A and B are shown apart, each in its own frame.
Chain A
Amino acid sequence: MVPTLAHFLLQINPHLLKICYNIYMSVFTPIGILLFGSLIVAFSGLTSGIFLILYHSLLGRMSRRRASDFAMFFIFGVETTLTLLLLSVYTIFNVSLGFINFYNSNIFTWILTGLLVFFGILYGTIYFRPSRGTKLFISRPIAHRYHVKADAVKSRSDAFMLGLSALLPDLLFTTPILIISVLTVAHLGSTPPARAGLLIIFVLISILPLLLLHLCFNSGRNLADLLRFRFKNKAFFRFLVTLFYFLVALLIILRNIL
């Protein structure tokens, strides 16, 4: 299919193939990196786990409407943390290192690729504990603390603060993804508004599972249903996120070598 298309383009105009190739490399590969990066952040199980605990606790104490309101503030908290982290990485790279040279450097590419493969394997092996259920890599006192904090949420600000802290343990796995995403945004967006738009899309894709869970709770699903779904598909999600790590690494290699 691809050689036929290439021959066809060559017959029409020899330059057309080169133009298409350039468009593919400069647009579609970075978009792929951004998409898979945001999906990695989205499918990391910690924020959705804390969200489930919070929503269950809220529904037990207050009306569905109020619980939904508080849950939205939790999502705002997660969104705020992610935006602040992305902006911090953006500022660090923009001020101290400079985007373009850094992104085009071969050594940096190989370091990033190696890190991504390493974190992909790490995610596949240690993110979920080898037990029934979806126990994660965080220590038991921290997990207990999240349970206690979720039970203690009494106001929107509490829910927001819990959202702010929910993403932080995941940074162990998502830091390289955040760095790559920011570099890709800087490469893809030529103007600051375009970059801001891409960052907003990244954040929105990253919080999509939380919004879907929110919809599920609002439509009457209970925690037991969602837990069953989560437990049943644990291996699939683990495989998916590991695959996304490898795909991002592959796209970076493709962009820099081909």
Chain B
Amino acid sequence: MKTHFPTKKTSSRSKNPLSPKSPSSYTFDPIALKKSLTRDARALGIPMGSAEVFIDHTIKEVVKSLKSKSTPTESEVNRALIREMKKYSPDFVFYLQHRDQII
């Protein structure tokens, strides 16, 4: 005689609707960061030749400074970026400092 046990379907999407919203995750990706910074440099009217050089330098330095942290947070990456970018472009630094304060 066969007995059927009710099987509970579990999917990754089934969540408790009452649970608080999970915070958005941030993963430090130097390639994506370079792409985003290049786009911003272009929008800010910085010549692309020099922008690519100083963005490469900046990302190298940021990666070096964040080596000790296993999972750097977004604000840590931003702080390191602004610290390094101060050597190259005041406009870029101003934009990085205030990009989330526009609206």
Contact = CB atoms under 8 A, between A and B. Distances in A.
Contacts of B92: 224
Interface residues of B, number: 16
Given A143-B103, A224-B95, 5 more contacts: A52-B102, A134-B101, A136-B103, A224-B92, A231-B98
A15 interface: no
A220 B45 CA distance: 8
B94 interface: yes
B100 to A, nearest CB: 8
Nearest to A45: B103
23 contacts: A45-B103, A49-B103, A52-B102, A53-B102, A56-B43, A57-B43, A59-B42, A60-B40, A60-B42, A61-B39, A131-B101, A132-B101, A133-B98, A135-B101, A222-B45, A222-B91, A223-B44, A223-B95, A224-B44, A224-B91, A224-B94, A225-B91, A227-B95
Interface of B: 39-40, 42-45, 90-92, 94-95, 98, 100-103
A9 to B, nearest CB: 51
Task: Indicate the size class of the contact surface on chain A.
Answer: 20 to 34
B102 A49 contact: yes
Interface string A49-72: 110110011111100000000000
Contacts of B102: 49, 52-53, 133-134, 227
Nearest to A55: B43
A30 to B, nearest CB: 33
Nearest to B91: A224
Interface in A137-170: 138, 143, 146
A18 interface: no
A133 B39 CA distance: 22
A56 B41 CA distance: 10
A62 B15 CA distance: 40
Given A59-B42, A59-B43, A222-B44, A227 B103 contact: no
